[in-house]
Amino acid sequence: MKLFTLFCLIAAISAAAFLNDTSAQDNDSADVIGRCRLLTDQDLWSGPSTNYKKIKEAAAGSLLEIIGEKGDYFRVRVPDGFPCFVHTDFIIFNEEMLGTVTGNRVNLRSIPSTKGDYPIFQVNSGTTLRVWERSGKWVKVEAPPEAYVYVLKSEVTPVPETAEILDEIARQRALGRRAWEEHFGGIREQKTIDENDAALRVRFSALEESAKSDYDGKRLEDVKAEYHAIAEAVSDELIKTVSLSRIREIDTLLAQNKLKDDFKEREKRMRLREEEWRRELRKLEEKDGAAAGEKKAALPLPVAGKPLVLLGRVDASGSRIVLRGGKFKDSPLYTISCPDRRYRLKDFHGKRIAVRGEIDKMITGELPSMVVERIEILK
């Protein structure tokens, strides 16, 4: 009993000294005169009675550090990372979320209001506080280590200062600091994201503007890559969605351009092949003894058994299959057949072809007949 009385006397002396000093300290903890555990779940109060503001509820078994007492209550240190509020009139803070107190005996409160509350601590001009966020006319900050709340003496039991207890307290402090660092890290990360999004919005707006002039002559592949980079990096869902839509549009344009290029290449190959057939036709005409420099006839002279190369359009609409062409483009030239069934001539209806074969027979008043050896579609 005497030991407990001595413990309380020491607590009272320490509390009196603390009440006379409202300035913030540079050390990491207030003077600790004892430690205790909660016997049951208990409310922690901003003052030494239930008439004050309830700060939070602590679970049974929680370890608390005692820094003073008043009446039926112990004054206990708030855990590291504990949030409180200060009015914006008394603090300025920078982009690094560090605030500087601008007045003396400035109250730190448990809620962002002066009504229904009691200060949990006071700080003086020049004190640096770590800022959580701004809420209207109040700034949420991390309470300094000297801040305190109250708990009923009758609901705690003293604990000795052992290595295990000190380790547990150190773990609690580490958890509090870690919570703050995670929150602070989240703020920095969000700030980085916001700055990155701002830069990406500028790039996106420039791309959208250049779309009015076909992207200022840029290659579609390069524009697509830029939209893709924006969609990958931006957190703005609207910009991401529009960028992905632009990528799909560009993919469609690229596919259409490829088809056009393929068609042009195919047309070029067809022209080259047609020219080859025409050269072969001229060689056959010259072999027939056409005089040098003499204007070539529009059609070679049909002779039975003679090898022949012709260009024309297949007409399989009637009972006979006819090759049309010549000077007037659609004149009937020859009837064509393929006795060995190497080709289904009806399948070539309407197509322009180059055909090699031999004259089969000549009947007066009828078109000459040609037996097909080889066919190549020109278009």
pLDDT given for residue 327 in this prediction: 61
Sign of CA dihedral 368, 371, 372, 373: negative
> Residue written as tokens 């993919």?
251
Report the CATH fold assignment for 1-79+145-161. Answer: SH3 type barrels. (2.30.30)
Is 17 within 8 Å of 25 (Cβ atoms)? no
pTM greater than the 0.85 cutoff: no
* Domain 1-79+145-161 matches domain 307-377 at the CATH topology level: no
Question: Which has more pLDDT, 40 or 301?
Answer: 40
Q: Rounded CA gap, 123 and 144, in Å? A: 9
Which residue type is seen at 293? G
Among 303, 363, 378, 367, which residue's Cα sits nearest to residue 336?
367
Residue range 52-91, pLDDT digits in tens: 888 888 889 889 999 898 999 999 988 777 888 999 899 9
Which of 127-136, 147-156, 329-338 has maximum average pLDDT? 147-156
Report H helices in 42-111.
none
Provide the residue ranges of all domains of the chain, joining segments of one domain with +.
1-79+145-161, 307-377
DSSP lists the bridge partners of residue 358 as 307, 371
Is 142 within 8 Å of 116 (Cβ atoms)? no
Q: Rounded CA gap, 237 and 234, in Å? A: 8
> Three-state DSSP class for 308?
strand
pLDDT given for residue 191 in this prediction: 75
> Three-state DSSP class for 157?
strand
SS3 content of the chain, % helix, strand, coil (to 5): 40, 30, 35
Tokens in use for 227? 């939209």
* Domain range 307-377, its CATH number among 1.10.260, 2.40.50, 2.60.120, 1.10.287: 2.40.50
Is 143 within 8 Å of 99 (Cβ atoms)? no
